Amino acid sequence: MSNEKATAAARQPKPSISFDPQYIGRITGVLLAICLVVALLLGVVNQITKPRIDAIEAEKVRLAMAQVLPAEEYVPVEASLPKTVVSLSQARSGGQSIGWVAETTATGSQGPITMMVGIDPSGKITGVSIVSHSETPNIGTKVVADQSVLDRFTGMSHEDGEITVNSGTNRFDGVSGATVSSRGVAAGVNAALDAVADLIVKEG
């Protein structure tokens, strides 16, 4: 308790700012030293956890690929991709191309939604899987965490125009109350279809 009183008293009579170089050097030095120690510790922890985190991420992406379009191997496509397409790979089985998987990102209601979209050679969607999202529990998750909703995309293509939510010729039935999340997922699926369509045109 005496300690507490002493510091409380020391706090009171120091209203003016001191420009004494020695004093400034001291507070800067202490702050710098604390920052250095913390940074060093963080570096060590990062060294330990980075391989594991990367492995978990890679596994998630692989699982999502296998879910939307099962294939023996996925070969990344070398092409300049629009900003919304994170990666585009060709799915191959027995040396034959059986379609593409595109990882795309779109804006949901709370942040970016990253999804994997499988597309067969005729341009039809074989499956959609969410890789990561930050949608509101019990609202946005009615779209992004419900596979039966995501499966409504299966079989759709751009033949009838761009996919629109709850309207238009190429209609995706969203979840009421989660319109923004539904639109987000539809935007990501559209980006994937566009990217693959571009690829098909280029390859003739």
Partner 1 sequence: MNVGKQLKEGLLTQNPVLIQLLGMCSTLAITTTISNGIGMGVSVTIILTLSNIFISLLRKIIPEQVRIACYIVVIAGFVTMVDLLLQAFFPDIAESLGVFIPLIVVNCIILARAESFASKNKPVAAAVDGICQGIGYTLVLLVMSAIRELLGSGALAGNQIFPAEYSASLIAQPVGGFLTLGCLIALMQWAQRKVKGGK
Give the nearer residue to partner 1 in terms of CB position, either 39 or 79. 39
> Contact letters (x/-) for partner 1, 77-96, by CB under 8 A?
--------------------
Q: How far is the CB of 113 from partner 1 (least distance, A)?
A: 13
Provide Rg for the chain, Cα atoms.
Answer: 26
CA dihedral 109, 113, 119, 122 (to 10 degrees): 30
Q: ∠ CA 127-75-60 to the nearest 5 degrees?
A: 55
DSSP 181-198: HHHHHHHHHHHHHHHHHH
| Contacting range for partner 1; rule: CB under 8 A; set: 3-11, 63-71, 75-83, 184-192 | 3-11
Give the nearer residue to partner 1 in terms of CB position, either 52 or 202. 52
Binds partner 1 (CB under 8 A): choice among 4, 20, 78, 203: 4
Binds partner 1 (CB under 8 A): choice among 13, 16, 22, 56: 56
Binds partner 1 (CB under 8 A): choice among 66, 77, 139, 197: 139
**46 to each of 59, 183, 195, how far by Cα in Å?**
19, 36, 35
Give the nearer residue to partner 1 in terms of CB position, either 6 or 79. 6
Q: ∠ CA 146-151-154 to the nearest 5 degrees?
A: 160
What is the helix, strand, coil percentage profile of the chain, to 5?
A: 45, 20, 30
Which stretches of the chain bind partner 1, using CB under 8 A? 3-4, 7, 10-11, 14, 26-27, 30-31, 34-35, 38-39, 41-42, 45-46, 48-49, 52-53, 56, 132, 134, 136-139
